[in-house]
Structure 1
């Protein structure tokens, strides 16, 4: 399958490339696989019930969940603390829950 896909050149700022490489490493993917996953995720309509992919920022805008679930104060507090952690610590914390 890989041989059927034509290479695609992409120019991007070096700092963005480094950020994406770091996120790809955290997600256990190559840079190419990370870009493809993000493009696919970005083209799907958002579902409030789906957790964000690792390394991607959580939505900061309010989304009405389909099942009516509303986070508790404790859950919101946990998210606030989680969002302040560096990506490496977020990944470490997530692996504890798996």
Structure 2
């Protein structure tokens, strides 16, 4: 009898946590600015797009191998949500803002 009650409580807690995380992710997705779009359109740093690095090497048999690595600044919504949550717990040692 006690095991059934404990199992029901654990299932309730587990489902509550899952639905809370899903609801937060949906809320954050709809209230964010759309993913990869820069917030400030006139900022040249924000409009650069993906960054590419090209590596070329030659093998012992004379073949050339080219590797292209592309870095994108697009993050999944859950990563942005987790970073926003952890930013509340990080100490801010900078000077106070004027706003």
TM over 0.5: no
Normalising by structure 2, we get a TM-score of 0.25
TM-score (norm 1): 0.26
